[in-house]
């Protein structure tokens, strides 16, 4: 399971490049504010930041992701957050590329090309949110589900960590159960062994502070998302992510029709993920990540005609390990590759701009904001105000579901100047508007 040096190098390169993207995501700020309270020993279970739903229940399904972001901020200020993002992106790209290489160890160029759709589409999720960390664990789950029984067992602790980190774990649980079902159908002996694995996977996702409510939260995002929020809407082919997503689906269909026969285990992985990816723009990277190894194993090798003869190929294979890596490259070489990649990431973080990019936020208006309740703020500025204007509670922010449906509907009526918006503002007690 140790990643190949080439995969590590590609991952480190993208991890270094992502440090050029400044800290600016509005949701980051409320994640950090929530995580800071968790680190202080008080897991927030009710709203602490708004004046529209104060004390209302809030989900704790991202408590670990929030805590990690808050810890990174506490250790290294905003540069610490940047470092966490760089590590997550490096890990994500490394896992995607290495999984593709494991599927096609003799054709690394094909494997790297097969990784490009996943890297390109996941690029739009390389933000400072627990969502990115959940995507890393999804990529790792895909790698494990392509293995044997030992790897299938390893998905149980993975699901346990993932369910504390981000609500996307629900997709992972569904895939583990589907994989157990597919393997039970394919094997004639000892099929019963998949039953306790499936049961343990379910229990692992319930050992969280929210208990059964963690399923409710994930179900809300999947079954009843507010479609007028861009990331909750269906993929839009007029945007760059939408074009990449459609292109990935076309590649997947073409590869399935023209390439090698799809196994049952692959079908139980790719079909559910493709369906989920169609339901919301924020889910589109999943299908590309899941398809990378399938592409690598199925696509033709353009360099095959220039390869050595069968005899020379056999002789060469004798000096390779099971994963296609030369046996001579031992632990020292692997440690050197890991150290070099780590040094590159450290240098990129050290040289990056470790400040928050406030160019898209109302920095100049902060001094004029009234203390206490009454401010109606722009949706995308809620998290920023939680961090930089703590004396002024927000009307709404990116946590979204505590404000659904009434607060969000009133917000849309006022900001959109719908008929009767003045009455809505008066009923809500709005004293100032910042949009």
Q: Which of 131, 376, 142, 135 is nearest to 231 (CA)?
A: 131
Q: How many residues does the structure list for the chain?
A: 435
pTM: 0.91
Place of tokens 């150290």: 339
CA dist., res. 433 & res. 424, Å (int): 13
Query: Half-sphere exposure of 40 toward its Cβ, with a 13 Å CA cutoff?
Result: 9
pLDDT in tens, the chain (435 residues): 678 889 999 999 999 999 999 999 999 999 999 999 999 999 999 999 999 999 999 988 899 999 999 999 999 999 999 999 999 999 999 999 999 999 999 899 999 999 999 999 999 999 999 999 999 999 999 999 999 999 999 999 999 999 999 989 999 999 999 999 999 988 877 888 999 999 999 999 998 888 777 776 666 656 666 666 777 788 888 899 999 999 999 999 999 888 778 888 899 999 999 999 998 888 999 999 999 999 999 998 877 776 554 444 444 444 555 454 455 556 777 788 889 999 999 999 999 999 999 999 999 999 999 999 999 999 999 999 999 999 999 999 998 889 988 999 999 999 999 999 999 999 999 999 999
Q: What is the 3-class SS of 129-194, one letter each residue?
A: CHHHHHHHHHHHHHHHHCCCHHHHHHHHHHHHHHHHHCCCHHHHHHHHHHHHHHHHHHCCCCHHHH
Structure tokens at 201: 């996977």
């Amino acid at each position: 399971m140790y990643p190949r040096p080439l995969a590590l190098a590609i991952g480190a390169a993208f991890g270094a490049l992502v440090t050029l993207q400044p800290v600016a995501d509005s949701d980051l700020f409320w994640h950090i504010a929530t995580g800071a309270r968790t680190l202080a020993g008080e897991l927030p279970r009710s709203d602490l930041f708004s004046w529209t739903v104060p004390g209302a229940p809030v989900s704790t399904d991202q408590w670990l992701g929030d805590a990690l972001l808050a810890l990174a901020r506490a250790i290294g200020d905003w540069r610490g957050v940047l470092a966490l993002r760089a590590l997550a992106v490096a890990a994500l790209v490394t896992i995607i590329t290495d999984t593709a290489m494991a599927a096609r160890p003799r054709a690394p160029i094909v494997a790297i090309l097969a990784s490009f759709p996943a890297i390109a589409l996941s690029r739009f999720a390389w933000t400072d949110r627990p969502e990115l960390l959940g995507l890393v664990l999804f990529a790792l789950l895909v790698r494990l589900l392509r293995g044997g029984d030992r790897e299938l067992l390893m998905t149980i602790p993975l699901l346990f960590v993932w369910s504390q980190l981000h609500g996307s774990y629900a997709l992972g649980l569904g895939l583990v159960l589907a994989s157990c079902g597919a393997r039970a159908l394919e094997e004639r002996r000892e099929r019963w062994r998949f039953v306790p694995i499936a049961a343990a996977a379910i229990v692992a996702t319930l050992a969280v502070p929210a208990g059964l409510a963690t399923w409710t939260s994930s179900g809300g995002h999947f079954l009843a998302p507010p479609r007028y929020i861009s990331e909750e809407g269906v993929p839009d082919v007029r945007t760059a992510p939408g074009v990449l997503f459609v292109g990935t689906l076309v590649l997947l269909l073409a590869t399935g029709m023209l390439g090698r026969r799809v196994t049952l285990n692959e079908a139980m992985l790719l079909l559910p993920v493709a369906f989920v990816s169609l339901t919301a723009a924020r889910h589109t990277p999943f299908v590309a990540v899941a398809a990378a190894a399938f592409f690598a194993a199925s696509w033709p090798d353009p360099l095959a005609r220039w390869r050595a003869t069968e005899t020379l190929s056999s002789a060469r294979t004798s000096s390779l390990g099971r994963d296609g890596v030369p046996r001579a490259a031992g632990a020292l070489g692997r440690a050197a590759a890991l150290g070099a990649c780590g040094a590159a990431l450290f240098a990129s973080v050290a040289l990056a701009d470790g400040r928050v990019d406030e160019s898209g936020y109302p920095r100049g208006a902060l001094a004029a904001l009234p203390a206490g309740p009454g401010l109606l703020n722009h949706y995308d500025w809620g998290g920023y105000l939680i961090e930089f204007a703590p004396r002024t509670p927000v009307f709404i922010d990116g946590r979204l579901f505590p404000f659904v449906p009434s607060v969000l509907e009133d917000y849309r009526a006022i900001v959109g100047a719908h008929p009767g918006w003045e009455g809505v503002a008066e009923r809500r007690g709005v004293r100032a508007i910042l949009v």
